[in-house]
Amino acid sequence: MKVNRFIISTHALVWILLLVIPYVSTDQVFNALDPTSDSKYLLLCLVLSAVLLTIFYFNYLFLIPKYLLNRKYWLYFSFLLLAIVTVVLLSGTIFYFSDFNPATFPTTNPIIEKIIPVIIVNALLLWLLSIISSILWTIYNRLKQSESEKLSAQIASLKSQINPHFLFNTLNNIYAIAIDTSPRAADMVDKLSEMMRYTMRDTQQDFVLLEDEINYISNYIELQKLRLDRSVKLEYICQDDIPAMRIAPMLLVPFVENAFKHGVNSEQKSHIRIGISMNKGEFQLSVVNNKVNIQREIAESSGLGIENTKHRLNLIYPAKHLLVINDTEKEFFVSLHINLQ
């Protein structure tokens, strides 16, 4: 276990609070009752503290990791008991050989006689507390550790899935094989690579070039075309000269994806119309598709994209965008205007 300064100082602080405050608060009382035994009381407190600390750290650093965490409960509890007994005997011996004999107290002051049991109960409670707290502390640490291990394992597995160098080198090799013999395949690999690069790299930024976002959509539509049957009529009109403006990434894509998700069923006539244009600083997207029958399980999972996008539009372009969604029985119509200036 790594010990760092922060942990050491936390421990020290807790112990000081736990041990010094009871002493300081009761010291006054003792002093008032019997000034002669004051230094002896300090000794008593020191011994108690030492016992407490020994039990806590013996339990925390040795017994818990060795037995409790290895599920050797019987061994753990017997060792713990043994430790307590040893410590009690040890401190008892110290008391016995020192002149600090509890038996001398009642003679000096009868009130102290009543306090002694309280002190003993107090000490026992503190012991209990130290044992329980050391167990709880260990459990908490374990939990935290396993949580962070789980997280880093997840990240590592995600990273290994998408090592970009491997991915793009491989796509490039497929591209290389196809480039002279089947240029159409090469072109598709190129488009797919552009899309993947966009999602992996550019979307990490807050704003991207509008041209790049539109390029992603164009690539997406080109690749979707390969999947479509002749029953689908697809119109995509995009203005040629896109000004060098910036837009938040992936704001337009969900609407286009949605059209293909809900507008395509090879058994029915489908019609998708997508238009992108710029009017000075104002960007315009319109997507229209007629609705086809789609089995519910597929359809249900798709609402999130649009809801999420609405939320993002409100956050990023407050009072600078106009989103109209017209959801009728036959048709789904989206019109989005954003002022990018």
Partner 1 sequence: MINAIAIDDEPLALTVIESLCAKSNVIQLQKTFTQPSEALRHLRKFPADLIFCDIQMPAMTGINLVRSLQQNTMVIFTTAFSEYAVVSYELNAIDYLLKPINQKRFTQAINKAQEYFEYLNKKDQSSIFVRADFSLIKIPLADILYIEGLADYLKIHIKDRKPIVARMPMKDMMEKLHAGDFIRVHRSFILPFSKIEAVRGTTIYIGDKEFPIGRTYADEFFNRYSH
CB of 278 to partner 1, least distance (A): 18
Give CA–CA dist 118/300, Å, rounded: 67
Residue 137 DSSP label: H
Binding residues for partner 1, total number by CB under 8 A: 20
Closer to partner 1 at the Cβ: 219 or 290? 219
Q: In which element (H, E) is residue 53 found?
A: helix 38-57
Give CA–CA dist 277/287, Å, rounded: 12
Q: From the list 164, 243, 281, 303, which residue makes contact with partner 1 (rule: CB under 8 A)? A: 164
Interface with partner 1, residue 84, by CB under 8 A: no
CB of 256 to partner 1, least distance (A): 22
Burial class (CB in 10 A: 0-12, 13-18, 19+), 114: exposed
CB of 151 to partner 1, least distance (A): 24
> Residues 179 to 208: which contact partner 1 by CB under 8 A?
179-180, 186-187, 189-190, 193, 197, 201
Q: In which element (H, E) is residue 277 found?
A: strand 270-279
Interface with partner 1, residue 237, by CB under 8 A: no
Q: From the list 46, 128, 136, 177, which residue makes contact with partner 1 (rule: CB under 8 A)? A: 177
First-to-last C-alpha distance (Å) of the chain: 55
Give CA–CA dist 5/8, Å, rounded: 5
What string marks each residue from 272 to 301 as x (binds partner 1 by CB under 8 A) or -? ------------------------------
Residue 244 DSSP label: S
CB of 74 to partner 1, least distance (A): 57
CB of 157 to partner 1, least distance (A): 19
CB of 167 to partner 1, least distance (A): 8
Closer to partner 1 at the Cβ: 104 or 169? 169
Q: What angle do CA 189, 201, 225 make, to 5 degrees?
A: 35
Give CA–CA dist 141/322, Å, rounded: 50
Give CA–CA dist 71/245, Å, rounded: 63
> Residues 94 to 153: which contact partner 1 by CB under 8 A?
none
Radius of gyration of the chain (CA): 37
Phi, psi of 339 (to 5 degrees): -85, 110
Segment interacting with partner 1, rule: CB under 8 A, options 147-155, 171-179, 204-212, 249-257: 171-179
Give CA–CA dist 333/328, Å, rounded: 8
Interface with partner 1, residue 90, by CB under 8 A: no
Interface with partner 1, residue 216, by CB under 8 A: no
Q: Which residues are at the interface with partner 1 (CB under 8 A)? A: 164-165, 167-169, 171-173, 175-177, 179-180, 186-187, 189-190, 193, 197, 201
